[in-house]
Structure 1
Amino acid sequence: MTTQLRLTETVGTLVRDHPALATLFERARIDYCCGGRQTLAEACAQQGIDPQGFLQELEAALETAPVASMEVAYDSLTALIDHIETVHHAYLHQELPHLEARVAQVVAAHGHKDARLGQLQSCVAALAAELQAHLQKEEQILFPLLRQLEADPNSTLRSFIQAPIACMEQEHQKTGAALAQLRRLTDDFTPPAWACNTYRALLAGLLRLEQDLHQHIHKENNLLFPRAIAEL
């Protein structure tokens, strides 16, 4: 039986309820994490995509790869936070230094061939610094607060939850803008003909970074934060 989707549903909700759709949204360059509150119709209009045609493509994908809601996989806020930290935070802590080192090698070897490589290095460095500070705020302030509030819903700390969540969402918007800049500077992560293996590895790493951050931010913006506000 075909799953009936609606153009009035938000893209964040669609990926929350049907995680397999994330791949199609990635291909269509539809932002389902930072832009998760826009409707499917709005997202298609923004990208110049035929909404009815794309809707049918999404529904066809669900026929061949039906999946359960991502939300039901985590029976508590703490379980979802643990997942975000062990999967996405751990990945960033490990990968960001490697990406910074790799882009420095590429600039040293090939910076004279493409002036944008210097801009790419600056963008990667700025994004890494912002993400490291962001992770620290979540790990030391927001996530412990959410765990504590789930353990004790009557805690007086409830009144403090909105501000740090709003701050994290604003920082997610900056991350989305930085990822868009990385794409522009690398021609959608496409290696030039003269690219060495290190350059190609850098571009593959940046693409993986983008994909992981899309999933990471989606899980926070469209699952964790709304659920925390509703339940607490």
Structure 2
Amino acid sequence: MTDLTVWQTAPFDAIIDHILPRYHETHRRQLDEILPLAEKVARVHAQTFNPQILPLVQYIDSELRGHMMKEERMLFPMIKQGVGRGAAMPIKVMMHEHQDHEQAITQLTELTDNFTPPAHACGSWQRLYANLRELTEDLRNHIELENEILFARVMQL
């Protein structure tokens, strides 16, 4: 995981201003590449590519984009405005969605044999798994920063 100590005492605005480009914008770029790649690999390798992977990637794409939009439009502005514990309910909702994201990551990791492409995998398939590994690592770090630092500190107010 990532070193969170730098964020232990950082102002909430600074944490949010870090999360938006480092994680939200990064995830959108990652998903913009991953989804068409997953569709291509599923189509070209329909006989050997696990049929559960594409729907799971589509689910992750949809859920993560919706989740980030809710944080950007509702929760983060509340935190920046100093609402504090008044943001408890949206924080609980976001943390519950984080659990859903973690479950999807676990399922994806299992379905891809820990993002290990088979020996016969083409370059696109290999790139897909490498990109999925990077997305899931970033997403885990993202969730950890929000849950363990930002949300925990806001809830202590």
> In which range does the TM-score fall when normalised by the shorter chain?
over 0.9
Partner Cα separation in structure 1 for residue 93 and residue 6 of structure 2 = 24
Q: Partner letter of residue 53 of structure 2?
A: L
TM-score by length of structure 1 reads 0.64
2:131 alignment counterpart: 205
Equivalenced residue count is: 157
- Report the aligned-residue RMSD: 1.6
TM-score normalized by the length of structure 2: 0.94
Equivalence for 2:86 = 160
Q: 1:148 aligns with which of 81, 94, 98?
A: 81
| Conservation of the 8 A alpha-carbon contact between 2:15 and 2:150 | yes
The within-5 A match list for 1:61-100 is: 69-72=5-8, 75-100=10-35
| Structure whose CA Rg is larger | 1
Q: Report the structure, 1 or 2, having the larger helix content.
A: 2
> Whose RCO is larger (CA < 8 A, sep 6+)?
2
CA distance in 2 between partners of 1:158 and 1:147 (Å): 9
Which secondary structure state, in structure 1, belongs to the residue aligned with residue 150 of structure 2? helix
Matches within 5 A, 1:1-232: 19=3, 69-72=5-8, 75-114=10-49, 116=50, 118-149=51-82, 157-158=83-84, 160-230=86-156, 232=157
Deviation, 1:158, is 4.6
Deviation at 1:160, TM superposition (A): 3.0
Question: How many percent identity over aligned positions?
Answer: 34
Q: Which runs of 5+ in 2 are unaligned?
A: none
| Shift, 1:94, TM fit | 1.2
> SS state of the match for residue 193, structure 1?
coil
User: What is the one-letter code of the residue matched to 2:123?
Assistant: N
Per-residue deviation, residues 186-226 of structure 1 (Å, max 9, x unmatched): 11111101100000000000000111011100000000011
Unaligned runs of 5+ in 1: 1-14, 20-67, 150-156
